[in-house]
Amino acid sequence: MGDVVTLTDTAAEKVTAFLSAQNPAPEAGLRVGVKGGGCSGFQYALALDEQRDGDQIFEDRGIRLIVDEQSLQYVDGSVVDYTESLMGAGFEVKNPNVVAACGCGSSFRVADESPSCGA
């Protein structure tokens, strides 16, 4: 398996800053996962966290990326970016597996999954 999740330079800088401010354990990193919900079926779950049983660990730009077993198929090939605009700032996931997303921009659907709303 190649690079399941990668970070842009800007995202890596933000994660590094957040990790430095939290003084976490050495094995901490950015957890990239999905959970059911939202109007399109799935939502991203990004958090600073430590490895748990069943997690896969990847590294990009010196940052540990933690992905749980269930999320692997949904985030494979994704790029995490950090954007700032007049509407706010935050992490954004660019995911090649997404076939539909809702207007709010926080939920998505992948192929072979039924939409959870009338989409």
∠64-75-22 over CA atoms, to 5°?
Answer: 30
Residue-level length of the chain:
119
CATH number belonging to domain 5-110: 2.60.300.12
pLDDT at 119: 44
Q: What is the pTM of this model?
A: 0.81
φ and ψ at residue 74, rounded to 5 degrees:
-90, -25
What span, in angstroms and rounded, lies between the C-alpha atoms of 86 and 10? 17
**Whole-number pLDDT of residue 72:** 93
Please say whether the dihedral angle defined by the alpha carbons of residues 97, 7, 56 and 51, taken in this order, is positive or negative. negative
Q: How far apart are CA 72 and CA 114, in angstroms?
A: 19
User: Which amino acid is located at 63 in the chain?
Assistant: I
Q: Residue 76's Cα: distance from chain center in Å?
A: 10
Q: What are the structural domain ranges in the chain?
A: 5-110
Q: What is the pLDDT along the chain (119 residues), one digit of tens a residue?
A: 567 899 999 999 999 999 989 877 878 999 999 988 766 678 889 999 999 999 999 999 999 999 999 999 989 999 999 999 888 889 988 988 876 666 555 556 666 655 444 44
